[in-house]
Structure 1
Amino acid sequence: MDLDAVVRARRRIAQAQADYVRELRALVADGPGGACGEPVAAELAVALAESEHVIRRELARAKQLTTRLPRTLQALSDGDIDLPKAAKVVDQTEVLSADRAARVDEMITGKLVGRDAGSIRRIAYRAVHKVDPEGAALRAAQRRERRKVEIVHRDDAMASISATLPADAASATYASLDRMARSARNHGDARTMDQLRADKLAECVIGRSGGRPGSARAEIYVHVDLPTLMGLAENPAHLAGHGPVPATVARRIAEDPTSTWRRVVTDPLNGAPLEVDRKRYRPTKAVADYVKVRDKECRFPGCHRPAAYVDLDHVTPHGCDGPTCAANLIGLCRHHHVVKHTAGWWFEVEPDGTLHITTPRGACHTSRPPVELCDSVAAGERTGVTVGGEDGSNTGPTRGRRARKRRRRANRCGSGNGFSGARASSGDHASGRDSRVGTR
């Protein structure tokens, strides 16, 4: 076993991470005329098949390291630390002014080699306190402003909920859950303490036992075919925003009278109307529901925001004769709705719901709905958009007939998708807040 070879390989990884940081920083220029961080983040996320949240965090980290923490970046370049360890320094110094961050960077130089991530965080924290002792209260207030709740989807129909709270609130929340769990155990409940704490948290929030009666409840979409729902098949179901779940889980949700799910049977049961008045701006509820069921999530590549929280957008703008029908509507989360109407982006949709996205740098990506449009729509609806790429290619710059038609349509409707970089609030979305039916 060559331990030294492993260490050398690890150092090379760190050096490559430093190169990656510098390239990220070079991608987003500062000052007038420079690249806009948000559109660049969206385009880079598509190119790297990474979530936009991760890319924005990496871009911010790259800016901190290259402009405020050059010595920490050099330690990364030398292979003395890796990027996760460098991130600990970034996290501790991001609330400081540039000059104080530079002082911390200088103070900890040479102290990071051979340290684990936790030790580096403590070293940086102590240095921050030394250079700005009176700012501790302000830093605590700034971090308090970043409190949030996040969900991370796991395997086998599980997920994790994480809450970032002030320490006192977090401690009190855990103590309350622990007290409820112990009370249940003392009354003979056979579940483990971990299971009870988790179940009590869900009960308190959802309101199944101890929640306020009649309170607003979130709507959850579960897509399941009819044979599976009836117990005649074991096909996986689809939980919007999460992905596949076992048939047994779908049936358990369906049979639970207290669940907040909304059943979406993928085998047509009632022939929901899809063809409506194509000249109206806002879709009917039937069409809006259908598009959200079809798309399941935001249609931007890599975004998994559930369709219950999206805007419905005309791919071909309504003002440019774009019809209000399922074949010309897509679901986009509010953030990617803004991206779509930023200059340089181009969206095209095919009758079956396949979406072609061209980035400002000319790369073409394809997004397909998880559930195809039904044959009656695919065969009969005129979308009023150009469909390109006869071979279905989803990479490389667009060329040829599709690009020529795009230019002609752009001349008629204006730049981009007809808005020349208009924001979503003034863009062409069919439903605005009316489409956000995640709660009722």
Structure 2
Amino acid sequence: MTSPAETPGSDAFTASLAGLAHGMEGLAQDAAAVQIREVRLLAAAAALAEKTSAGSPARVRERDMALRSISAELGGIMRVADRTMQRRIDEARTIVEDYPAALEAWEAGRIVRGHVLTIVAAGSVLPPELRGAFADAAVPKCERDTPNRVRPALEMLAQHLHPRSFAERHEEAAAGRCVRIVPGRDGMSDLIATMPTALVEGAHDRLTRMGRAIIDTRGERAAGAGLGLDSTDGTTGDHSRAEIVTTDARTMDQVRADLLADLLLAGTPALDETRDTSAGPLGKIRARIQVVIPAHALAGDDHDACDLVGRSPIDAATARQLAAGNTQWERLVTHPVTGAVLAVDSYRVPEAMRRYLQARDQHCRFPGCRQAAVRCEIDHNEDHALGGKTHTCNLCHLCQRHHSMKQFTCWRVRQLLGGVLEWTSPLGRIYREDAPRPAVAFTPADVTLPPF
């Protein structure tokens, strides 16, 4: 329990927090050293299995048997299943043999374990002979950001290096789209749909926006349900409906699940007040997704992927279809070296400042957060109430969680040139947050670039 002397902002609180931070730094260094030793030891276990079967006529089977035996031995020591240990051995061998640059950077403290695993995951689509070059290019990107933030850039890099076009591979993967049921317990089951990413993201966004509309209007709907009068006897109307609405305490996950069932089985949300008409308010809500498309993909080149911001790459054909059906889309002019957004123009820009910030920020600008900008709030870095200007040099996107944290804790932020944010923690530690580079970029040949 915190004593009165240790309230947030007090000297005692700051001293306690500093002690925790110092301890965490040492722990992180110790943990990294142990993790690296484990990776090298497990890779040596894989090499031992390989050496044991060298020259054997049944080399593949001999190696597998040796690896199983070694995995069982080490698994017994670590108290994990032999299959689990074998997977860890395979992962360690992949890191050591296919991504030596990543392991070296980890040992030097330039990146952390999460970066290495992200590099391995993103590079898994590449043939083994290309993974070393991929790691060489991936490590510098990892040094600038957190693992979850750098993941989209690494995925796009891997897709670019792949000898086969993304469109070709996506077409093969899309052939496996399906809907399946996984039976659960207590009368519940999982309905799993495997579909193209853009469709899944759009469906989830629409359910979320419809759910938010239901949750935000609970009070209005409850009042409306309880005040209706019967035209014949003057008594209040639909009591059962009023009771349902006034006792609605569902979470967002529960609302999304109910809406999905409504839409699939009945074609309309059950709580839409005008559901008997052709298009009620909830039925008019459409999905929003944020896609960055390179100019050559827009022109018909299918080799590289496009970026569904906050998620993963999508195929160029889907991106072109989305662009063709959208009346508002922007051209981003980016710096050829740094990749920073230099300019944005649009066929129609009713809210130029907001759309510029959305293009520049892409996601929440708190270090490590990847909530897409379309689902964030625009924050005045210097509070408007204290004289902060409503200008791009004083605005950025923050998700609800980090917007609240900026307001109600000792975290502070100021914006530097080029959209760079400088966050200061309660201990005075500085965390630099660069304006993210679009995963795909376009720089026209006739543009004169300013110094950057």
TM-score by length of 1: 0.36
TM-score of the two chains, using structure 2 as the length reference: 0.35
Q: Say which structure is richer in helix.
A: 2
